[in-house]
Amino acid sequence: MWWVYVGTIAFVLTLLFNARQEAYGPANTGWTPSWPSMKVADVTPGGPMGKAGVRAGDVLEAAGGQPLAGMRDWFVARAHFERGRPIDLQIQRDGQHLRLHLIITDSSFRTWNRTQRDSVLALYLARMILLSLAMLVTFGCPQQQLGCASCSIDVLP
């Protein structure tokens, strides 16, 4: 049963890392994509993309040196963004290729409204409840491999 402890520790560490990144990582860049393309549908005034000079109608071609063919590429590039560190953007606007510099200065939690904060807290509460239930089932009946008489769970050999 040593593997259960390893799995539990890995899950808890991942949960803590994700929570830290969710709260203290770089804030949202402030743009709305036109799915599934990389065309900018809207830019939040005063947000990092707006300050960088990105406009609605621009097409994002690269971010941080990562070519952007679709939203999956954007999420990969975004994982490497750091607060306060300039990010090179390559965009296409009216047939011209432009280079802009994006800087995210705020951490995520500083930009959340009440709804966003409540949804993030609810997600992490649900994750903790599921982890607790999994641990209760796993550790509550250590003899389940043999078919524990006090458990309602029977495991076939």
CA 157/CA 154 separation, integer angstroms: 9
CATH number of the CATH domain containing 50: 2.30.42.10
State pTM to two decimals.
Answer: 0.64
Provide CB contacts within 8 A for 114, sequence distance 6+: none
User: In this structure, are 93 and 117 located in the same domain?
Assistant: no
Provide CB contacts within 8 A for 44, sequence distance 6+: 30, 31, 50
User: In this structure, are 16 and 56 located in the same domain?
Assistant: no
User: In this structure, are 102 and 32 located in the same domain?
Assistant: yes
Asked if residue 78 is part of any domain, the answer here is yes
pLDDT digits (tens, 9 = 90+) for 89-116: 999 999 999 999 999 988 888 888 899 8
User: In this structure, are 115 and 136 located in the same domain?
Assistant: yes
**Residue 84 sits in which domain range?**
28-106
Asked if residue 43 is part of any domain, the answer here is yes
User: In this structure, are 70 and 34 located in the same domain?
Assistant: yes
pLDDT digits (tens, 9 = 90+) for 54-81: 999 999 999 999 999 988 898 889 888 9
User: In this structure, are 87 and 126 located in the same domain?
Assistant: no
User: In this structure, are 87 and 122 located in the same domain?
Assistant: no
Asked if residue 151 is part of any domain, the answer here is no
User: In this structure, are 13 and 46 located in the same domain?
Assistant: no
CA dihedral of 115, 14, 80, 94, whole degrees rounded to 10: -40
Residue 73: C-alpha distances to residues 44, 57, 113 (Å): 21, 19, 27
User: In this structure, are 66 and 89 located in the same domain?
Assistant: yes
Rounded to a whole number of angstroms, the CA Rg of the chain reads 22
Provide CB contacts within 8 A for 76, sequence distance 6+: 66
pLDDT higher than 60, residue 150: no
User: In this structure, are 87 and 131 located in the same domain?
Assistant: no
User: In this structure, are 126 and 71 located in the same domain?
Assistant: no
* Structural domains counted in the chain: 2
| φ, ψ at 124 (rounded to 5°) | -70, -30
Of 68, 87, 98, the closest CA to residue 26 belongs to 87
